Amino acid sequence: MSLVVYMASFLLALAAILLRRPRRTPRSPLSIATRATAFIAAVCFFWSAPVTLAAVNHATGIPNVGAPLTYGSISALSCSLIILLIHWKGGPQEQIRRMTRLVVAVYGTLILAIVVLFSLADAHTERLTDLDTYYANTPFMREMITLYLMGHLASTIVLSAVCLKWARDEVTGLLRLGLRLILVGLLLDALGFTVAKVTAVVARWMGYDLDFLSTTVAPPAAALGALVYSAGFVLPRLASAAAAERQSLATYRALRPLWSAVKDVATAPPVAEPTWWQLWWQLPSSRVYLLEANIRDALLQLTAYIDQRVGRTAFEAAVERGEQRAEARVAAEKAMIIDGIRRASGKGDGPADPPEKFRVTIDLVELAHAVDRLREAASAPDQVKARRRQVSDTDVRS
């Protein structure tokens, strides 16, 4: 049984690692809640493995001390699932914070009660797999077991009701698939774990022995259910993250011509530009961040080559074409930067007339497209000349 539980713990920990955000991206409450839930679930399964329980009991010298540790982590998981659902639903930030504080207060009190009840109970016989049923009639242990099962069942009911309501709404795509996975996972958890445990404990209260439900059915059902509903929570987020990374990759490729045009102007070393052998593991969003920082630094160093007369001419021409003033300012800035790149490479005519202050406000991708078109236009005559030389050489040989 420990192998199954450890496998679930490993997969959930892996999900928490894969959901990490790039270091320079803004912190997202939903991202934090998702990773925290996956991490708590991994810890929960790790503590509940019989091998871990035996090690904890032996290390502390307290029989069954792993029980409140496991039950507390299960309650923490129930709490984190509800908090994740609150952030997933969204809404006013103040309402989200208020509901989050309420859930934390309720389950924090539950965890504290579990610890207190265990400290008051008489549980000196170590039980690694059947503690729930073995101590089902023991004072304080009975209440502790009931509390954690009811707390977990309550979270399952709340999550199922909300997800069922959302599934009936007009949701499509991966969000609908995620909701269905959550419902399936919660059903496995509710029937396979909680109901099985409660049935086994109640059977003990009535003098019957249905311990196999608690020891054989519940653990693998809980592991499978946790994996399924965790996938339901994670899948939509992974999909949106993948879409964002695809967009970042397209942006990175679009900016490369601009960086090629301005990198020789930069006098400072690039901002932590990755080497070629590091690029394979860096996320495209991280690459874009570094590339944009390097481009902006290089563009600021172009100030000495910027000619504001070029900007005025481009602005007036854009206004005459009927463009809005904002669009005309963009055209003027683009013209000054492109002219500055030419002057920095030694292709300008006459000295520049730089402005007193120059700030890059233009979209870098738009600027990169303009630079790329200019390069293609400049290289067209050379290509024509090369083709003519090839034709001439062929005629001479013939």
Domain annotation for the chain: domains and CATH numbers: 2-247 (1.20.1070), 284-397 (no CATH)
Q: What is the pLDDT of residues 104-125, one digit of tens each?
A: 999 999 999 999 999 999 888 8
Radius of gyration of the chain measured on its C-alpha atoms: 32
Residue (of 342, 346, 248) closest to 292 by Cα position = 248
Q: Report which residue type is found at 72.
A: G
Q: Which two tokens stand for residue 364?
A: 């870098």
Mean pLDDT of the chain: 78
Q: What is the pLDDT of residues 183-240, one digit of tens each?
A: 888 888 888 888 999 999 999 999 999 999 988 888 888 878 877 877 777 777 677 7
Q: What percent of the chain has pLDDT over 70?
A: 78
Residue 36 has pLDDT above 60, yes or no: yes
Q: The tokens 């992974």 sit on which residue?
A: 238
Residue 89 has pLDDT above 80, yes or no: no
- Among 20-34, 35-49, 134-148, 277-291, name the most confident range: 134-148
Helix residue ranges, H only, the chain: 2-18, 29-48, 50-60, 66-89, 93-120, 131-134, 141-168, 173-187, 196-205, 211-212, 218-262, 284-300, 308-320, 325-344, 364-397
**Please, which residues have CB within 8 angstroms of residue 28's CB and are 6 or more apart in sequence?**
21
C-alpha 322: how far from its chain's center? 45
Q: What is the pLDDT of residues 235-262, one digit of tens each?
A: 776 777 777 778 888 888 888 888 887 7
pTM for the whole thing?
0.61
